[in-house]
Chains A and B, each alone.
Chain A
Amino acid sequence: MDDTFDEMYGSDRGPQITIKEADNTHAQIALSNCDLSFANAFRRIMLAEIPTIAIDLVFIEANTSVIPDEFLSHRLGLIPLDSANIDDKLVYTRDCVCDQYCERCSVTLTLNARCTSDVPMTVYARDLAVQAGAQCGQPVITDPEGLGTIIAKLRKGQEIKLTCVAKKGIAKEHAKWSPVSAVAFEYDPHNKLRHTSYWYEEDAKAEWPPSKFADWEDPPQEGEVFDYDAVPNTFYMDVESVGSMAPDEIMQQGIKYLQQKLMDVMKGLNGEDQMEDDGGLRSPGADGGDYQMGGMGGGQGYETPFGGQDGRTPYGGGYGATTPYGTNGWA
């Protein structure tokens, strides 16, 4: 692709992206020369299918605040946690080899707060202590005071003591995993295509404020003839990040996961050959070889979920290579 050619002469050869405005919380882009369906797919994927980290499990040791446990857990879940480059740092718990959760698939945060003064105390997201050595999952703090989201307020003598487990997930499952608070989406700011009709008292033009994208497109000429064949061509998006990821990463991840989706369906389409597919579908935990060696003395180096403390595996006897039918040295 010859990008300089496109920049110099403009192009009708495929989609164009222009960034109008961007900082670390939001980005305004114009996506042109593409179809509504694609622009919408991009929007939907950014909203619902980019993985981030959010608190998913809460173990409450003490909660004497006025906020009930489930209310508190919900609030904790919604706190944005740093999810930059999460793909390199964390795996989904369901894909992990561990039994419940581990450092490979989760980040543990603890909260320990007690009010001892007569002044009511506010517990903020900054009071969440992330497990040592965590590469991600720090609460997102963007306010100048460095406090973060308010979790709860405590009166004298009240206490909150809990442990949270943050996991990787997508917003399709729960909105707390969404990297964006909103993705504004608009086309045809002057309503030249007449896809919408404005309600008005006397004059729609005078009563409706122009869209913030209005000056990015030419206003309609006086007495312009309506083009019945026109289709939307340029789409304006404003990606508002919740802070867990930079808008730039969100957009890039959006394209990546759209492609991932396509690859998955392609694989499903080619996956008619079951034998071929089985190898890929088996999770590392189900890897046959090692477990079968339990009876042959291969079990010493590790503990398996199947090979309980007595050293028996479902495949045979204990480590001593005896079978349930023979004498067992451990019994």
Chain B
Amino acid sequence: MSFGDEFLDNLLPPQEEEGKLRVRVLPGEEPGSASFQIDDEDHTLGNALRYMIMKNPHVEFCGYSIPHPSESVMNIRIQIYPEYEEETRPVDALMKGLDDLRDLCDVVEEKFVAARDSFNEEQGV
């Protein structure tokens, strides 16, 4: 995984170029820690994702921020416990967080459909 000219990319306003990366690594990346910048995301994803990544036992710290309300970007910081550094990179933790959140959505949808169907059945009778 290489992140070439991220710094230069960061200077450009988001979403203007087609094919530009939506998720970037901010400068200052180290083996067990990294900050990512995601375009067009806000607290909707930020807080839920932060919580999900924090649930990962390999993750020492995860926090998110929206640096400025006028810029539609969200920064998310991930730090891995030193003993897991080899195993899990911050990107892996981010990916796992997204994946876990998607699984949670799957469960919630399933539960919702079940709850709705049983509610409708009750009402129907």
**Stretch of A35-43, A81-89, A290-298 with 4 or more beta carbons under 8 angstroms from chain B:** A35-43
Contact in complex: B45, A255 (CB < 8 Å): no
Question: When each residue 87-115 of chain B gets 1 if its CB lies under 8 Å from chain A and 0 otherwise, what string results?
Answer: 00001001100110110111111111111
Q: A15-B104, A15-B108, A265-B98 are in contact. Are A272 and B19 (CB under 8 A)?
A: no
Residues of B contacting A: mostly: helix
Q: A37-B47, A37-B48, A272-B21 are in contact. Are A262 and B107 (CB under 8 A)?
A: no
Contact in complex: A49, B38 (CB < 8 Å): no
Query: Of the candidates B22, B102, B111, B116, which one forms a contact with A268 in the assembled complex, judged by CB atoms under 8 Å apart?
Result: B22
Q: Please, how many angstroms separate the alpha-carbon atoms of A73 and B111 in the complex?
A: 41
Query: Of the candidates A1, A44, A268, which one forms a contact with B44 in the assembled complex, judged by CB atoms under 8 Å apart?
Result: A44
A252 contacts across to B, CB distance below 8 A: 109, 112-113
Q: Please, how many angstroms separate the alpha-carbon atoms of A85 and B43 in the complex?
A: 27
Chain B positions 11-63 with a Cβ under 8 Å from a chain A Cβ? 18-19, 21-23, 38-39, 41-45, 47-48, 50-51
Contact in complex: B108, A277 (CB < 8 Å): no
Contact in complex: B107, A261 (CB < 8 Å): no
Contact in complex: A41, B112 (CB < 8 Å): no
B104 contacts across to A, CB distance below 8 A: 14-15, 34, 38
* Distance from A195 Cβ to chain B, minimum over Cβ atoms (Å): 16
Query: Of the candidates B2, B23, B48, B51, which one forms a contact with A269 in the assembled complex, judged by CB atoms under 8 Å apart?
Result: B23
Contact in complex: A255, B95 (CB < 8 Å): no
Size bracket of the A interface: 35 or more
Contact in complex: B23, A268 (CB < 8 Å): yes
Residues of A contacting B: mostly: helix
Q: Please, how many angstroms separate the alpha-carbon atoms of A16 and B109 in the complex?
A: 10
Contact in complex: B22, A272 (CB < 8 Å): no
Where the two chains meet, the residues of B that have a C-beta atom closer than 8 Å to any C-beta of A are 1-3, 18-19, 21-23, 38-39, 41-45, 47-48, 50-51, 91, 94-95, 98-99, 101-102, 104-116, 119, 123
- List 9 interface pairs A-B (beta carbons < 8 Å), by A numbering: A37-B48, A40-B44, A48-B44, A251-B112, A252-B109, A265-B23, A265-B41, A272-B3, A278-B19
Q: Which 7 A-B pairs have the closest CB atoms?
A: A268-B22, A37-B47, A41-B48, A37-B51, A19-B119, A44-B44, A268-B23
Q: A38-B48, A41-B43, A268-B21 are in contact. List 14 more A-B contacts (CB 8 A).
A: A16-B111, A31-B108, A37-B48, A38-B101, A44-B43, A44-B44, A255-B112, A258-B44, A258-B105, A261-B41, A268-B38, A269-B98, A272-B2, A281-B19
